[in-house]
Amino acid sequence: MEPVLHRVRHKVFSSLHRIGLLSRRSHSGFAEPVAEPASSHSRQMKPPLLVSRLYQPSNLRDMGPDSRMQGELTCKSQRLMQQAGLIHPFNPGCFYYLPATVRAMEKLVRVIDQEMQQIGGQKLDMPSLCSADLWQISQRWDLMGKELFRLKDRHGVNYCLGPTHEEAVTHLVAHQTALSYKQLPLLLYQITRKFRDEPKPRFGLLRGREFYMKDMYSFDVSEEAAYETYESVCHAYTRIFARLGLRCVQVQADTGNIGGKLSHEFQLPADIGEDRLLVCRSCSFSANVETMLSDRTDCPQCKTGTLSESKGIEVGHTFYLGKKYSDMFNAVFSNAQNKQSVAEMGCYGLGVTRILAAAIEVMSTDESIRWPGLLAPYQVCVLPPKKGSKADEATGLAEDFVHTLGQTVPHLRGEIVFDDRTQMTIGKRLKDASRLGYPYVVVVGQGALEDTPRFEVICQQTDETMFLSKEDLFCLLGKVEIV
């Protein structure tokens, strides 16, 4: 390091020490975070995340008898998420997303971004505050009725908080005067907060009034091209659910107030689901009951199979819109003959917060959260022995283990938490770790002190417990996929 700069840094650090901003070593023995510039050295020595410091309050739900503040615990995912300090009710259908939830959401957003960009999607961000003018052109200002959150600005002009953005995006594309057929298909998407004045918000993040959604809109040169785009988005959705380990079914659906010619829902079968599905036992046919005569029991596709009913949570929806919105807003492009032509459109939604809650709903036990592996807020939790126990000597080994793991498997840095609550028994902390659903829990106890040190690892996704050498354990954890 250049000497003058070094002296400056030294001076800054001394001052920080004096005013108490640089902390002493914590009771766990790890130095706590300091305001040191990132260098490869400081990254290696970065202290682990201490469980005692994570803001994941599990006691927030005892806020007295006010059920509005408690949020009625109407389903398993809501109960588990509130108990684990993942979400907290604010007002009906609105929740605080606490830090671990935000981490899981950010991972889910990365998975969605990867798959949307894989098929040519370009991410943008549109205003939530939408002018009533556009919604009056599409007539949805009246059609949406009470579901639309409406407000007036200081000049008395009407707005709504956007639940979806067909009007806004078509308005945007219509303003591009020189859109050429060579630029199509154009796939624009965003992942933003959406608002819907649900008559009965319930089931935690499954049916809220404020939630995150991914909405994509496609513009194509022809009906044929639009169908191809539609197919590619459906395939991308299938890949997303496969990567998350969710067994979703793609069912034919009603086009509802969005309008259009063709529509599918992606449904995650679950008892708590509010949609009724008819699934053929012999072929791939499945449909939402709303789209069919509900007493029908013979399959319209293979003719021989029988349909059986199941419940599902709608986590995605696709619509082939045709020219409904592009005609209204005059979204045109110049075709190969250099003539103006109206674009063919599609729109495609994914309920981001809903996918998170739905995954917890179907994967968890009554007591313990289980995440899709890719989305777990933290991948590894390391448990040192209880203070004053027989294995107390292994505490240093546990600290060393965390440092070496971060060095050996760099992509796990930031994914490892250290349960420093050593006043608690291993058993109690294991129970917490199981409840929160870390995919890998490593216990550094008596076994780590033996001649051939062994570390206990519990793979919570598969419910397996193994005793491994440090090398084998690093090898196992090195295979963990981080998004």
Binding site for Zn ion (CB under 5 A): 280, 282-283, 285, 299, 301-302, 305
Q: Judged by CB, which is closer to Zn ion: 260, or 312?
A: 312
Judged by beta carbon, residue 21 or residue 302, the one nearer Zn ion is 302
Type and span of the H or E element at 327 = helix 324-329
Decide whether 8 or 302 has the Cβ nearer to Zn ion.
Answer: 302
Closer to Zn ion by CB, 82 or 286: give it. 286
Question: Closest approach of Cβ 249 to Zn ion, in Å?
Answer: 13
Cβ neighbours, 10 Å, residue 13: 15
CB of 233 to Zn ion, least distance (A): 25
Q: How far is the CB of 290 from Zn ion (least distance, A)?
A: 19
**Least distance in angstroms from the C-beta of 279 to Zn ion:** 9
For 140-209, strand residue ranges (E) read 149-152, 158-161, 186-195
Least distance CB 275 / Zn ion (angstroms): 19
Q: Is the dihedral of CA 249, 254, 257, 263 positive or negative?
A: positive
Interhelix angle 76-83/352-363, nearest 10 degrees: 100
**Least spacing, CB of residue 303 vs Zn ion, in Å:** 7
Smallest separation (angstroms) from Zn ion to the CB of 174: 42
How far apart CA 227 and CA 188 sit, in angstroms, is 16
Comparing CB distances to Zn ion, the nearer of 302 and 475 is: 302
Nearer CB in complex with Zn ion: 163/305: 305
Report d(CA 83, CA 67) in Å as an integer.
Answer: 15
φ and ψ at residue 194, rounded to 5 degrees: -120, 160
The helix (run of H) or strand (run of E) holding residue 436 is helix 426-436
Give the contacts of 342 (CB within 8 A, at least 6 positions apart).
323, 326, 327, 330, 331, 332
The total number of residues shown for the chain amounts to 483
Nearer to Zn ion, 280 or 331 (CB): 280
**Which H/E stretch holds residue 472?**
helix 470-478
The 8-class DSSP code of residue 447 comes to G
Q: Are strands 275-280 and 307-322 parallel, antiparallel or unpaired?
A: antiparallel
Least Å distance, CB 286 to Zn ion, is: 9
Judged by CB, which is closer to Zn ion: 297, or 425?
297
Distance of CA 403 to the CA centre of its chain: 29
Cα separation of 338 and 447, whole Å?
76
Shortest distance, position 210 Cβ to Zn ion, whole Å: 39
Asked, as a colleague might, if the bond just before 185 is cis with ω within 30 of 0, I would say: yes
> CA–CA distance from 33 to each of 14, 341, 396, 422, 453 (Å)?
16, 59, 19, 20, 30
User: Residue 301 CB, nearest distance to Zn ion (Å)?
Assistant: 5
When the beta carbons of 302 and 336 are compared against Zn ion, the nearer one is 302
- Shortest spacing between CB 51 and Zn ion, in angstroms: 51
Q: Which is nearer to Zn ion, 139 or 282 (CB)?
A: 282
Specify the residue, 68 or 281, whose C-beta has the smaller distance to Zn ion: 281
User: Tokens 């992606």 correspond to what residue?
Assistant: 266
Q: Which residues of 403-441 are buried (b: 16+ CB within 10 A; e: fewer)?
A: bebbeebeebeebbbbbbbbebebeebbebbbbbbbbbb
Secondary structure of residue 308 in the 3-state scheme: strand
Q: How many CB atoms lie within 10 A of CB 38?
A: 8
